[in-house]
Structure 1
Amino acid sequence: MEESVSDVESTPLNPRKADSLKHNIDEPDLEEFRAKNEEEMRAHYVGTGSVEEFLDGLLPYRPRTNKRPPLPDNPFATLKEADSWVEAKVVDKFNEALKTHSLCPKLAFRRSQHRPHPKNTDETGQKIDGGFFRLSEAPDDGRPHWELQLVQAEFKGRKDKDKYDPFADGETPLFEPIAEVIEPSAETRTEVRGQIITYAEQVFAMQHRTFVFMLLVMGRRFRLIRWDRSGAIVTRAVDYYESPGPLCEFLWRISHVKPVALGLDPSATRLTPNSVEFETMTNIAKDTSRDLPYHAPRIIPPDYKLPEGYWFKYVREMFAESISNPEWLRYRLEVVCNGEIRSFLVGRPCFRARALAGRGTRGYVAYDVKGDRFVWLKDCWRASYDLLEKEGDILQRIRNECGADVSVPTVVCHGDVPLQATLTADWWEHKHPLSPDDGRPLPPSGPPPRRSSRITVPMKRKIPDDENEESNDEPAPNFRPDCPLRHHEHYRLVVEQVCMPLKNFLNGKQLVSITSDCVLTHGQVFEKLNILHRDISDSNILIHPKVIEGDGGLLIVWKGILADWEISKPVSTDVRIIARQPERTGTWHFLSINLINNTWKLVTVADELESLIYVLIYYAVRYLRSSLVSREDVARFLDDTYDAYSIQRGELFCGERKVRMVTNGTLSVYNARNASYDPIVFNSPMDKLINPILKGFRARYNVMQAQSLPTRRPPLATVRMANKVNSHKWIKGYLELCYGDSGWSGLQDKAGDRVPSGWESNRKPIPTRFGGPRS
């Protein structure tokens, strides 16, 4: 397939995402995680003209029934000298003012700056200064209790002026109502931004929230922040001693509005220990009577009778583990599909994305109340643009076109959560309107978009009159190329298969088989629907055990499933095609070299197949016995090949070792003693698989390099070899030959995880100034 160039339909603008750090061999510490989150949130802040504008647009309430009583004096009089105090004293005096003047009468403020949660609850060990809680739930143990916080509060001293203020205030000179949020580049102020981002992210992780309010107090000044999956809306810094009214109004309102107005998701009902559904979850988690006790591939004994309504034991155990920690609360989640509301009971997510801005994907083993079974529930904030399909619709279309045996998840139900969408991008667009005639900036007209009484309703965006109309060649009517923020809608997808992660494969032969299943599926979808997945990674290649009818009775077989088709799209070679959203995601570690180094190129079949082979190599090296005897050598190879990067001309590019692996066409490791590269040998049929495929990709890159030089023409044999890596059939053929090789017989080649626990890399984290998009 001919590769086309487009500067709008691109690979990830910044493929080194915060969430992708979890793939690193050297697990990132909190400091690196915060720095990466801060980087990804740059230019994702929208300023407000005043606190009043913020409150009226984002925290409306009924002043007639909940009118704030007048205060006879300044409730913050005791904080007059707060700019000269240390942070702890500011918190003490602020807390005293809250209590003395009953500024927030229906909520309780609790401090938590000294004691984190244990690692099994919060692996990051973070400690926010305080938060506001319901009176009946206010904790007294000095911990943050992210699962219960309604509104967050962070304090900073101001003895060093604005050193700890993460933002600065500016104005667009022509239009007074627009307040620009400036992100100072000073190291300390940048660090504070990273800190408060991860505080908000932790609440999103442990609760079901549509947005989160945060009160940021710096000496005698305060800011209000509203976080959602698009970004954050931030007020100017206000001196609450000189002007106590705005802060008092905020505190009064958060105390008198309904929980939904504070960002609690009404479609997620928290279950109390005395509720029937809570007890149901406890009983189901303990019920072994329906367990199919083994799930490894095998023949089921003829005399064994499958339990009625059986499930695999590992699935029930995953569910039991998800409800074992009481600090991760249990919920009933609603999914609206075809006019029906389905209920699913969940505990702690088995998977969650580790970033604030973006889809915020969480995956649960859920109990299907109606179906009386375990299912997989995916909760995310999908990109909301006219030309984007919902993942459930994509999966159903794949099954309809490719047949019931195609290895993708089977949809139970799916749908957008009614009236739940991010609001920050709408505020940005309202404050930066364009002239319909020439696209030049205009002053904002009218008040900014407001929340409904139920939840975050965005400004209306055009939806095509005919949903079946082919419009991929037309610009998305609701896409503003100049807007750095994405619109998101809350979305839930429920599928039948509760799969195992790829690392659970039993041996090398099975790893080849699972990869082969996914290559076959990828090829079927491409041939039938002309769709590419565009997010190939190990997280999306799963193992699905299932019971089938064989010649001699029932069998348990393992199939590879290619999941997460959310950002898939039809292939186009039209360079005029317009991006359907501002950016898309991907996983740095498994992206093709082509897509990492050329962010303006379209994704091709060859790029996707290259990613699949990188996953195979990664898991073979990490879990199979090989000539890499030392576990440290395994870790170094994976770190150098998958985690590393290079910086050229101030830009971020693919690491040198990954490039060398492909350009040499061999799987090898650097030998520092001899300053040479030694082949990695598995002493199994795997040795006949990896190197021939790498040579095919070597030919592809040789052709691409030759084509970039007008005076060079690649040899015809090389061109023919390069064309093969665009073919699913060619890759599948090698995988099938390898799988059928007699050399696997009796071979027990899986050695467990060969990366030492706690291994640390000598490689420095990516400098954040290199993390942004390349022009």
Structure 2
Amino acid sequence: MHKKITILSFDDFMKEFVPSPPTRQSLRIAKKSSCINIFSEMDTAKNEEEMYNSIPDALNKPGLCPDFTFVATPGKVDKADPTRQSVDLGMYPSTSAPKRPSDGSHARIDWSLVDIPIECKNHPTEEDPFDDDAPNSEPTAESRKAALGQILSYAELVFKYQQRTRLFMVDFLGDFVRLIHVDHGGLYATQKFNYKEEGEKVAEFFWRYSRMTPAQRGHDPTAVRIPHDSPLGLEMQRMAKMRGNDIKERDYVRAAFEKSLDRKWPWWCLNVPVVEDEGTQKEKHFTRKFLVGKPHFQAPGVAGRATRGYVALPLNASNQVKGPFVYLKDAWRVVREGIEQEGSILAELNQLKIENVPTLLYHGDIPGQATISQDIWATYHPNDKGCPLKLHQHYRLVVKEVGKPLEQFRNGFELVWALFCCIEAHQAAHEHGIIHRDISAGNILLWYDPKNGWVGMLNDWELSKRVPASDVASGGRQPDRTGTWQFMSAHALNDRFRPIVVADELEAFLHVLLYYAIRFLSHNCTAVGQFLHLYFDDYTDGNGQFNCGQMKYGAMRTGVIDLALLRSKSEEDKGKKSAVEPLRFYKPGSTAKHPIQTILEALLLWFNAYYALDNAQAEEADDSGSPSPQDSGLPEFPKGFFAKEKIYAKSDSAKPASLNAPPPTTATVRVQKATPIDSDADKVQTHAAMLSLLMHELRQRENWSANDKGPDKRPKKGYKHPKDPIPASSTQLSLASGTTGTTGTKRKADRDENPRTPKKQSKA
């Protein structure tokens, strides 16, 4: 939430976020209520435990919030929540408020139903999450930063388990209190005031809030909760169990929907607005409905696009289930000149008949649902130039194909084949003036095409940019880097104003290949968790921004992925020689070179030449390895492979000349300085050489194994590093920790977010 926090007076907060009652009678009642200090007779609490009892008693007084109940939930966690967090108090609709057990213990938090999370702290300063006198109101003391992290983690959980457009929170700090408003654009909080002396302000807030409509309180009216045992809920369960006449390879779709029907989670019916014949006299607006369970994917955090993906079941106009399963994406897209709706991009790609991209069915903005934080920012920052907050519009998109994560590849051959398919899709789109700009592990899927078998699908085009084919290096739309930190090119991470070009995207494909290879294939790296941290999550701090980590940047500059960087500091202190130790991939059960090793060597050689154009010093590199017998069992060719093979087999001239060249040594680096390097450097500036390289290796079927994929080597409990993971807000998690599943997170890769430091455990 760096540069996204604003402190307001109580009156300004109420003016902006909590509307006055609509009638004169209501105004008279509100005025009467605002004169009541509901906390005037309350003694100062000696500890938080006393606050858990006294504050709900005051707020539950008759007439203040007649349809709501305030409940203390400080110790019992929501059974659905793996983070095991519980906010101290909560405001709930009375009909669904958690009940206090007969043994006198506190009630259990329910993140799917709490309307306002309320936190209690006994120390008004040390645990205040905001600093009114600090730049951007951001705290610097560790205890206060932890308190801010805790508030944000609670907000994240409400957004996670509910369908919300915004959220109100209340933070009691000893005898003081702050009111808080959060949306996906930013956060506004009141100045801290003494509720013992000005309790009528708290009463007025809750009185008004309880009389606002659900939509005004932040509940999404286009999302209707489906009780698990309701007719629609039972129909969802029936469809999840039904095995139709579909081919067995596609049963993963039904299985994914069945898995999403977690009874600990709320299920929903989501509306998707549709416009037909837009811009014509026949323009028609209507709504499609889809049943969903637990999200298949959910981006962490509060600020930003808050993307969620669901395996969905369509409903017809009569609210009857209408198959087959589809994929629904729910996001808060950035609205800015030049940024198109993802569905509009997909519609064009589909019209161009580009293969291996999703097929658009429906899409549209949700009317009346956009962030408001950016609209009022200038009013309260009159001396600041340029609003750091973005306008986010709620948006839904439905596509035909339901893919599965790339990490479920069966063997190295299928991994490389999937990447080949996606690079071809990227090439075709780029030839028509569209560049993806967010190549990452989570945006490449496996999909079973009945005609071509398993293929890779290039997904998630929301950050794509329209670029004239003759000017692929035109300027960027936004003054910051957007994408997935772990897979962005070293160049992009080191230059926040650099426009993304083909070389950056191809480098991102290389990083995706390496990410899955290091996790699932055989190699000589014995510290995979540390490797994932140093190569994908790490960063360097300089020139006022966070830059690319040393290991990734070094690999691009030297052409070698050097495992010597994994050595402990104690080894260095003992004076051990820091010799280069290149990463090597082997066939299972042997030290024979894996085909992916050959691919990586060629790509690293090319990127080494490309980065050498920056005229920076190349570092020494070294090569080692020895051949040994390959293992048995060959992978099957997918159906669509042979058509592609014919294209690339016409001439071996497509084979890169430096394919079998070793990674650069000191000698070869010196040669590069003295001779033209355009040949290899040019190979990563268009798609052709990389496609030829991958196809050349795929054609050598005898070099591949059907069973080279092993167990995941990423540490199950994560990797802990003394340095914080990459600069991030609550939206950013580490690939090394295993908390992001198969993806990184989309984020602004600049110093505009701070790591979350919640007091309570925030991640399982």
TM-score (norm 1): 0.78
Distance 1:577 1:144 in 2: 51
Deviations 1:98-150 (A, max 9, x none): 234553221011111111124xx212111111111111100126222110011
| Structure 1 residue 747, shift from structure 2 partner | 4.5
2:253 to 315, 319, 327: 315
Number of the residue aligned with 1:724? 683
1: distance between equivalents of 2:286 and 2:213?
Answer: 26
Preserved CA contact (<8 Å) 2:40 2:197: no
Question: Are 1:108 and 2:59 matched, yes or no?
Answer: no
Structure 2 residue aligned with 1:459: none
1:626 equivalent among 491, 499, 523: 523
Corresponding residue of 2:343: 392
Is the counterpart of residue 336 in structure 1 residue 301 in structure 2?
no
* Structure 2 residue aligned with 1:214: 169
Partner of 1:477: none
Q: Say if 2:542 is the partner of 1:638.
A: no
- Paired position in structure 2 for 1:587: 484
The DSSP-based 3-state class of the residue aligned with 2:164 is coil
User: Quick one: distance in 2 between partners of 1:618 and 1:561?
Assistant: 18
What residue in structure 1 maps to residue 621 of structure 2? Answer: none
Q: Which one of the candidate residues 359, 372, 376 is aligned to 1:423?
A: 372
Q: SS at 1:363's partner residue?
A: strand
* C-alpha distance in 2 between matches for 1:516 and 1:591: 18
Deviation, 1:774, is 8.8
Paired position in structure 2 for 1:514 = 418
2:22 aligns with one of 62, 70, 79:
62
* Farther-moved stretch of structure 1 (419-428 vs 652-661): 652-661
Q: 2:657 matched to 1:754?
A: no
- Alpha-carbon distance, 1:57 to partner: 4.2
Q: 2:550 aligns with which of 649, 656, 663?
A: 656
Query: Does 2:57 correspond to 1:96?
Result: yes
Deviation for aligned residue 1:165: 1.6
Aligned counterparts, 1:459-608, within 5 A: 482-529=386-433, 531-548=434-451, 557-571=453-467, 580-581=477-478, 583-608=480-505
Partner amino acid for 1:115? K
Q: What are the residue-to-residue correspondences of 1:25-424 with 2, within 5 Å? A: 41-51=1-11, 53-55=13-15, 57-64=17-24, 66=26, 67-68=29-30, 70=32, 74-82=37-45, 85-100=46-61, 102-118=63-79, 121-140=80-99, 142-158=107-123, 161-169=124-132, 182-273=137-228, 275-290=230-245, 292=247, 294-295=248-249, 312-324=250-262, 326-338=263-275, 339-370=285-316, 371-401=322-352, 403=353, 405-424=354-373
Q: Which runs of 5+ in 2 are unaligned?
A: 101-106, 276-284, 317-321, 568-575, 587-592, 619-670, 730-748, 754-764
Gap change, CA 1:686 and 1:287, over 3 Å in 2? same
Q: Which amino acid aligns with 1:329?
A: P
C-alpha distance in 1, partners of 2:695/2:334?
Answer: 38
- Check the 8 A contact 1:381/1:488 in 2, yes or no: yes
Secondary structure, aligned partner of 1:146: coil
Check whether the contact 2:6–2:137 (CA below 8 A) recurs between aligned residues: no
% identity of equivalent residues? 33
Corresponding residue for residue 559 of structure 2: 665
Partner residue in 1 for 2:735:
none
- Residue 220 of structure 1: CA displacement? 1.9
Which SS does the other structure have where 1:558 is aligned?
strand
State the alpha-carbon separation in 2 of the partners of residues 678 and 183 from structure 1: 43
Give a deviation string over 1:437-462, Cα, whole Å, max 9, x none.
xxx87xxxxxxxxxxxxxxxxxxxxx
| 2-structure distance, mates of 1:508, 1:674 | 34
Give the C-alpha shift of residue 244 in structure 1.
2.3
Deviation at 1:196, TM superposition (A): 0.3
Letter in 1 for 2:293: G
CA drift of 1:340 comes to: 1.6
CA distance in 2, matches of 1:713, 1:509: 32
Which structure ranks higher in relative contact order (CA pairs < 8 Å, sequence separation ≥ 6)? 1
Verify: 1:773 aligned to 2:710, yes or no: no
Q: Equivalents in 2 of 1:424, 1:242: separation in Å? A: 30
Kindly indicate whether the alpha-carbon contact (under 8 Å) linking 1:685 and 1:743 is maintained by their aligned counterparts in 2. no
RMSD: 2.9
Quick one: distance in 1 between partners of 2:719 and 2:93? 42
Amino acid at match of 2:58: A
DSSP-derived class of the 1:216 partner? strand
**TM-score, scaled relative to structure 2:** 0.79
Which of residues 586, 591, 597 is equivalent to 1:687?
A: 597
Relative to structure 1, the CA distance from residue 635 to residue 767 in structure 2 (aligned partners, 3 Å threshold; closer, same or farther) is closer
- CA shift at 1:575, angstroms? 13
Does the Cα contact within 8 Å between 2:427 and 2:687 map onto a contact in 1? yes
CA distance in 2 between counterparts of 1:372 and 1:639 reads: 42
1:604-636: per-residue Cα shift (whole Å, max 9, x none)?
Answer: 1101100101111221221122344xxx43333
- Give the length in aligned residue pairs: 642
The code of the aligned residue for 2:271 comes to E
Over 3 Å counting, the alpha-carbon distance change for 1:78 and 1:50 in structure 2 is same
